[in-house]
Amino acid sequence: MKVTFLGTRAEIEIRSRRHRRHRALLIEQDDARIMIDCSSDWLHRLYAIAPTAIVLTHAHADHAAGLFNGAPCPVYATAATWKSLGRLPILDRRTMPLRRAVLIGGVRFSAVPVQHSIRAPAVGYSVLASGCSFFYLPDVAELPEASGALRGIDVYIGDGSAIGRSIVRRKGGE
């Protein structure tokens, strides 16, 4: 399994050239090219990346706005994310179940719900292929330690803003 960081920026100002694109990951395994998340940075680059599947963590624009013109492959998202996304010209929509393994191109994904946004419920993904595993969580307000999602995982790749403390906003936040 080969993992490429297509982007690492959150919804913050661009501070450097190497940090300008929004968070997205490309997983390559045999012939599969699976992209996790797809912001507007990829709107006109999707055909160049040529993913064989796209998996979404949640519906916020910095994770899904690259799909406004559709997608050249199946797109996986939870039922809650499809509901938040509304109408998008995506022909092959697949519903990602929660806490149940789904095999996509030889890579096993398991969606774990996390606290992030009420309007755009988010998941992190436990990803396993070729005996390697990682947990990918680009946007979260509180690390999901209690859920046991990180147990047995080789590497955590994720949002660093909540590592030291919870950043949950209880009132008036989104």
Q: Which residues bind Zn ion (CB under 5 A)?
A: 60, 139
Quote the CA–CA distance of 173 and 131 in Å, as a whole number. Answer: 40
Residue 21: name the closest of 33, 34, 5 by CA.
5
Nearest distance, CB of residue 63 and Zn ion, angstroms: 6
Nearer to Zn ion by Cβ, of 41 and 139: the residue is: 139
Nearest distance, CB of residue 57 and Zn ion, angstroms: 8
- Pinpoint the alpha helices (H) of 76-123: 79-85
Nearer to Zn ion by Cβ, of 22 and 33: the residue is: 22
Nearer to Zn ion by Cβ, of 33 and 60: the residue is: 60
Nearest distance, CB of residue 2 and Zn ion, angstroms: 26
Q: Which residue is nearest to Zn ion (CB)?
A: 60
Q: Which helix (H) or strand (E) is 48 found in, with range? A: helix 46-49
Nearer to Zn ion by Cβ, of 56 and 107: the residue is: 56
Nearest distance, CB of residue 139 and Zn ion, angstroms: 4
Q: Which helix (H) or strand (E) is 46 found in, with range? A: helix 46-49
CB 34 within 8 A of CB 55: yes
> What is the signed CA dihedral for 64, 48, 73, 140, rounded to 10 degrees?
-30
